[in-house]
Structure 1
Amino acid sequence: MNSEDSRNLILAIVLSVLVLIGWNYFYGAPQLQKDRQAQTQANSTASGSPATGAGATLPPTGAPVASAPETRPEALAASKRIAIDTKSLGGSIDLTGGLLDDLTLKAYRETIDPNSPTITLFSPQGGPDPYWAETGYVPDAGTKAKTPVRDSVWTSDSQTLTADKPVTLTYDNGAGLIFHRTIAVDDRYMFTITNSVENKSNEPVTLHPYALILRRGKPVVSGYSVLHEGYVGSVGDNAVDEVTYAKIDPAKPVTTKGAGGWLGFTDKYWASAIIPDQTMPVDARFAVSGAVQPADYTTDYVGPAQTVAPDSTSQVVSRIFAGAKEVNTINAYMADLGIRKFNLMIDWGWFWMITQPMFQLIDFIYRYVGNFGIAILIVTVLVKLAFFPLASRSYASMAKMKKVQPQLAALKERFPDDRAKQQQAQMELFKKEGVNPVAGCLPMVIQIPVFFALYKVIFITIEMRHAPFFGWIHDLSAPDPTNIFTLFGLIPWDPTALPMFGHFLALGIWPLVMGVSMFFQMKMNPEPTDPVQKTMFAWMPVIFTFMLGAFPAGLVIYWTWNNTLSVTQQYFIMRKNGVKVELWDNLSKMFNGLPLMFKKKPEPGE
């Protein structure tokens, strides 16, 4: 195989692998996961079971779900509550059990429609999709101390929890123990909870602090392999654990130990986490009870024993995060509260060393231009400038390769049956002309980590959610809403709903523009001499157009702009190296000739 064929083969392999990885990474695996989830959710009812840890038994997860759940308003009205009212949060605390089980996010709505419902995070028992957090004390194993459980009714010193005014709940067990729970919240998403116990009995009592979050029934997830949704947390100095709902085994909970840390549940944009005192050693775990749905998914920790002597008081401080995964908010909590690895609640992916700085750069520019789409375009230019020296050398090599194409064809005619002499002559020609046959692959290879990093930024960061660009792009994190197969809205049907290949029919205006830009870029490269490779390269822009059609519009806009910059850069480098760019010249002649089409033809004799 000669050097030119080797170059083309390497580039063909790279592109083919990208296509296969892209299909499996973004579509194949997610679709398989969705199918499995649908099969699992076809099963029905199960009840919760108690959880244990660190010499203590946690409260049972609750009664089985009724066959006909109440509505959310009915479930909320079933018990007395303390209202939550801050700039960012609304909801209530259930005085039965002292549960944080009703939470809405005021700044976020379900759709781009400003009148759509706000996002609901926590929900009460008895209603749809119960999801709550709780903290408190449990007795040491072998003792008979009576601690509050989920049907214990607390009293409160206030009717509303605000960012400026904490509330204190009180429960008297009737046997000499008085429990207090002071709940404070900031203006974002962090609750600080101080649990204390007064021992007015004549005997010491040994208790363990605990906290847990429970989700009843497997949540609906977006199902993309690029994004982790499920259990997440890091305890002590351990690495971040990420376990999906499908992979948790009822018989084998995931357990860990350490001092401090955090653990909870993460959705695409929202999360909840229990955070112990960062100096307190805890036994933590992820668990599920029940093999059929709706099972109880729990994440919890139990702290060391605390012995409270008669006429004394003991207390423990813990925190609960419940809200949107705003990058700067989470980073501030990590820095200000000393919560180790809390920033990894956001799934930055394999290329986190690129993804995080890229988001910070985009966010920094956004603060000046006020549009994330414009910020992405500016960052693309900056990335092109950073790689300009390397890309220029690669494009120069490609220009030289294209310049010697006639000579390579002549060598093949000169040695049609002697591959060894043909390859030797080609190597001599490359050496003479200063051509590197594989250098042309570098610009595309360089873009791979940047492409995936930007995809992660657009796909996972809530800052990109519902962020508009211009025209019809009202959400950079969603696909282009236009579609050529509906004549851009004239035909009232949804081709993406078709099974198997429906997502390939999400072909809007921006994906089409991207395909055209990729076509120009491919035409700027040296044309493969092998017919199979030539055909594959010719179809590559079409394949990528359909593949990227269902991707976030922000990513397609980036790819289009990046192709445009690359074509422009490559054009000038080729002209500088004496290579005639026939496609560009033909287009220039065509557009320059357009005015002549509308010019009045001279009459005979004029």
Structure 2
Amino acid sequence: MRDDNGRNTIIFVVVTAIFLIGYQMLVLGPQAERRKAAQQAQREASAAAAVTPDGAPSATGEPGAASTTAPRPVVVDRRQALATDALTGRGSERVIIRTPTLSGSLSLIGARVDDLYLTRYRETIAADSQPVELFRPQGMNHAYQALFGWTGANVAGGVPGPTTPWRLTEGSTLTPTTPVTLTWDNGAGLRFTRRISVDDRYVFTVRDTVANFGAAPITLRPWGRVERLGVPADLGKQQILHEGAIGTFSDDGSGYTTTQLKYGAWVKKPIEETESVGGWLGITDKYWLAALIPGQDERIDAGFRIRDGATYDTYSATMQGAERTVSPGMQITHEQRLFAGAKVNDVLTAYEKELGLPRFVYAIDWGFLFFLTRPILIVLDFFYGILGNVGLAILALTVCIKILLFPLANKAYESLSKMRNLQPKMEEIKKKHGGDAQKQQQELMALYQREKINPLAGCVPILIQIPVFYALYKVLFVTIEVRHAPFFGWIRDLSARDPSNIWNLFGLIPWDPASAPVIGGLLVGALGLGVLAIVYGFTMWLQQAMNPPPPDPVQKQIFAFLPFVFTFIMAPFAAGLLVYWIWNNVLSILQQYVIMHRFKAPNPIDGFIDKHIRKKAT
């Protein structure tokens, strides 16, 4: 019966490994290739006849009539979309945006911020890669923009909206030192003046002044909206990552809660209405955020909506302020802000303090282990400031974690060393009670008690490191501080998988396995081992070899098989995670080796030295 159970266990482990590899080959691999192809096609469409990100072509023409109807998207290149407004079909005059972190333009039709690049970040690690695009104008595939306006019942002459023909009256280029002023007169006694400014990071300030030259009071409500036409194919596919709607709200302005709505859930529940005093809301991607920021003492109505379109559904995060009455001969002023940029921890933290924003740093998806994830990033950032390399910062972080766990690990390795020395006695018990498993177990427990050994002590450091491992994985996956961070040699992006591959002899053969349409893609996706994965597997095997072997032969076979399985499991993970785990294993091996020497316990390192080095020397 025992042999049957052993064979069944081994078969189960092997079948599970085959299933994991097959799932990677046949499902995850092709999905990743499709997402990559869709993303590339999107970038090519965006770049077709592209303008440089430092500016945008301008065209003059008669402004179109006001309309709030969402257009049927027409896929055009960027130059055409910037020159001709897709909502009105008229020429689009534009104001250039140029800051240390942003470039692009805003349209005078609707005063829409709809053309924006993040100049400090690139799409890929290639030297000629383009800056990251955040917003794109109407008419392009998956248009993305921010706009502001007013609503009012029965207002003669209308109120500003997405197609309002604003006139530039002050300034020419929007920079941190030169705001621009726009005006629009509705022809019926209302004059709207909009002053737009931008800081040297990622926040736009939109300050509207409404003057009433008529004979009757007018009641208005301000609004702001961030909207995206459809969801690009590469967004919302990761279970570990939140992409979609996000906002922080409070009914009374005291306690704030953060709401997250992934794209899949957003489709199922398209309208989320809430009242809030202050807070913020918007649309988040993995590394980028577009968020509306009201005055923190203002009561707003906030919502996440989906409007059906002819080609794309429009996903929007919308806020509407309180009613304001403008008496004849009087004017009112209202201010709201837009964050449009990268989710950098230090930047979000600074805005939290400067603008009094609640939980703004939680625009980063820290996960349920946020109490570990964020401190890990802070420590990494600290060491990066000293060492100047994220990979070295990961090594330093690993040393810190090992120091914190040193007392526990020491006790665990002492227990394992004692168990290693007890192997002869354990073998005697197995021979003496070979046919009685229960008696054998009782004798082993009695032996452990006499020698004051806890057989489970070796598991404690591993169990404690599991949440640390997950938190570091989260940091490497979602934080922009690690994005495109190089290490040394062939590792140019610690947030991506190891680019080396066993199928081209780690770069010795001038052939990219991923270029093979089917076979190469499968090999790279499921069986493509890089240098880091192989080194990780070896260090896992060596560390395991230093532990006392399990008394059960079936368990011994399973444990011997695990380093091989985990080598393939870990291969697709971020290179930074493998760097951490390899270095952690090396430090653990050194610590365990010292303790085993102290207890004079046999270990494979000394065995190797005796067999291959000392023997040859004599």
Q: TM-score range by the shorter chain?
A: 0.7 to 0.9
| CA shift digits 1:403-425 (9 cap, x unpaired) | 22222221122123333432322
Q: Does 1:211 align with 2:224?
A: yes
* Partner in structure 2 of residue 492 of structure 1: 511
Corresponding residue for residue 3 of structure 1: none
TM-fit CA distance, 1:33: 8.7
Cα pair distance change 1:397/1:596, threshold 3 Å: closer
Q: Distance in 2 between matches of 1:542 and 1:300?
A: 51
Change (3 A) 1:253 1:545: same
Give 1:487 deviation, angstroms.
1.9
Report Cα offsets for 1:312-360 as digits up to 9, x if no partner.
Answer: 1112111100011111011100111110010000011121111111111
Superposition pairs of residues 517-532 of structure 1, within 5 angstroms = 517-532=539-554
1:476-527 per-residue CA deviation (whole Å, 9 max, x = no partner) reads 1111111011222315243597577752233111111111111111111121
* Paired position in structure 2 for 1:63: 71
Q: 1:575 aligns with which of 556, 581, 597?
A: 597
Distance across 2 between alignment mates of 1:259 and 1:28: 49
Matched with 2:51 is none
1:99 aligns with 2:112: yes
**Mean alpha-carbon deviation: is it higher for 301-310 or for 498-507?**
498-507
Structure 2 CA distance, aligned partners of 1:416 and 1:172? Answer: 97
Question: Does structure 1 residue 409 correspond to structure 2 residue 427?
Answer: yes
Equivalent pair of 2:76/2:139 in contact (CA under 8 Å):
yes
Letter in 1 for 2:242: H
Evaluate the alpha carbon distance shift between residue 456 and residue 425 of structure 1 in structure 2; reply closer, same or farther with a 3 A threshold. Answer: same
The AA in structure 1 aligned to 2:241 is L
| Match of residue 249 from structure 1 | 267
- Counterpart of 1:231? 245
1:165 aligned to 2:178?
A: yes
Does 1:543 pair with 2:562? no
Q: Which residue of 2 aligns with 1:153?
A: 165
Q: Which residue of 2 aligns with 1:301?
A: 319
Residue 267 of structure 1, CA deviation: 1.1
Instruction: Work out whether residues 139 and 145 of structure 1, in 8 Å CA contact, stay in contact via their aligned partners in 2.
Output: no
Once the two structures are superposed, what CA deviation does each residue of 1:57-104 show, in whole Å capped at 9, x if it has no partner?
x984621112xx110111111210000011111011100111000101
Residues 338-388 of structure 1, C-alpha deviations (whole Å, 9 max, x = no match): 100100000111211111111111111111111111111011011100110
Does structure 1 retain, via aligned residues, the 8 Å contact 2:72–2:311? no
The amino acid of 2:440's aligned partner reads Q
Matched, 1:191 2:197: no
Give the Å deviation of 1:29: 10
Note if contact 1:373-1:469 (Cα within 8 Å) is conserved in structure 2.
yes
Q: Is the 8 A contact 1:25 1:225 kept in 2?
A: no
Residue identity in the other structure for 1:539: F
Q: The residue matched to 2:147 in structure 1 has which SS? A: strand
The 8 Å contact of residues 145 and 205 in structure 1, kept in 2 or not, is answered as no
Aligned to 1:51: none
Task: Look up the match of 1:360.
Answer: 378
Aligned counterparts, 1:122-521, within 5 A:
122-140=135-153, 146-156=158-168, 157-221=170-234, 223-236=237-250, 237-249=255-267, 252-290=270-308, 294-489=312-507, 490=509, 492-495=511-514, 498=518, 502-521=524-543
Alpha-carbon distance in 2 for matches of 1:26, 1:334: 41
Structure-2 change in CA distance of 1:239 and 1:594 (3 Å): farther
SS at match of 1:361: helix
| Shift in Å, 1:550 | 1.4
Task: Judge which range, 522-531 or 80-89, deviates more.
Answer: 522-531
Q: 1:292 to 1:551 in 2, by over 3 A?
A: farther
| Deviation for aligned residue 1:195 | 1.5
Is the CA contact 1:165–1:184 (under 8 Å) kept in the aligned structure 2? yes
Q: Rate the CA distance shift 1:330–1:467 in 2: closer, same or farther, 3 A.
A: same
Q: Please state whether the residue corresponding to 1:299 is helix, strand or coil.
A: strand
Identical residues among aligned pairs (%): 41
CA separation of 1:419 and 1:113: change in aligned 2, threshold 3 A: closer
Higher relative contact order (CA 8 A, sep 6+): 1
Tell me the equivalent position of 2:50. none
Q: Secondary structure at the match of 1:320?
A: strand
Tell me: CA distance 1:297–1:556, structure 2 relative to 1, closer, same or farther (3 Å). same
TM-score by length of 1: 0.86
Which residue identity is paired with 2:533? P
Regions of 4+ moved over 4 Å = 22-38, 142-145, 495-502, 593-597
Q: Offset of 1:546 from its aligned partner?
A: 1.2
Amino acid at match of 2:511: P
Q: TM-score, normalised by structure 2?
A: 0.85
Q: Is the 8 A contact 2:157 2:187 kept in 1?
A: no
- Structure 1 76/292 Cα, relative in aligned 2: closer, same or farther at 3 Å? closer
Change (3 A) 1:232 1:221: farther
Residue 246 of structure 2: SS of its match in structure 1? strand
Given that 2:106 and 2:115 are in contact with CA atoms closer than 8 Å, whether structure 1 keeps it comes out as yes
Distance between the aligned counterparts of 2:179 and 2:593, measured in 1? 65
Residue 274 of structure 2 aligns to a residue in which SS? strand
Amino acid at match of 1:149: G
Unaligned runs of 5+ in 2: 1-9, 40-65, 85-91
Does the Cα contact within 8 Å between 1:27 and 1:224 map onto a contact in 2?
Answer: no
3-state secondary structure, aligned to 1:240? strand
Residue 72 (structure 1) aligned with residue 78 (structure 2): yes
Q: How large is the RMSD of aligned CA atoms in angstroms?
A: 3.1
Q: Which amino acid aligns with 1:64?
A: R
Do the aligned partners of 1:129 and 1:215 also contact (CA within 8 Å) in 2? yes
Moved more, 128-137 or 182-191: 128-137
Maintained 8 Å contact 2:25/2:522:
no
Can you list the C-alpha shifts for 1:512-557, whole angstroms capped at 9, x where unaligned? 1111111111111121232332222112111221112111111111
Q: 2:608 aligned with 1:587, yes or no?
A: yes
- Against the structure 1 CA distance between its residues 292 and 555, is the aligned structure 2 distance closer, same or farther, given a 3 Å change threshold? farther
Return the offset for 1:154: 0.4
Q: Distance in 2 between matches of 1:122 and 1:209?
A: 22
2: CA distance, partners of 1:229 / 1:535: 43
Uncovered stretches (5+) of structure 1, i.e. residues with no partner: 1-11, 42-57, 598-606
Structure 1 residue matching 2:471: 3-state secondary structure: helix
**Structure 1 residues 246 and 154 mapped into 2: Cα distance closer, same or farther (>3 Å)?**
same
Mean alpha-carbon deviation: is it higher for 296-305 or for 106-115? 106-115
* SS of residue paired to 2:350: helix
Contact 1:93 1:102 in 2 (8 A): yes
Please say if residues 194 and 209 of structure 2, whose CA atoms lie closer than 8 Å, have aligned partners that are also in contact.
yes
Distance 1:251 1:216 in 2: 17
Letter in 2 for 1:116: S
Distance 1:276 1:505, change over 3 A: same
Distance 1:330 1:27 in 2: 39
Quickly say closer, same or farther: Cα 1:36–1:205, change in 2 above 3 A: farther
Query: CA–CA distance in 2 between the matches of 1:584 and 1:129?
Result: 58
Cα distance in 1, alignment partners of residues 599 and 261 from structure 2: 54
Measure the CA separation in 2 of the matches of 1:336 and 1:547.
44
Cα deviation for residue 207 of structure 1 reads 0.8
Structure 2 residue identity aligned to 1:205: I
For 1:4, the equivalent position in structure 2 comes to: none
SS of aligned partner of 2:261 = strand
2: CA distance between counterparts of 1:300 and 1:116?
33
Cα 1:415/1:594, change in 2 over 3 Å: closer
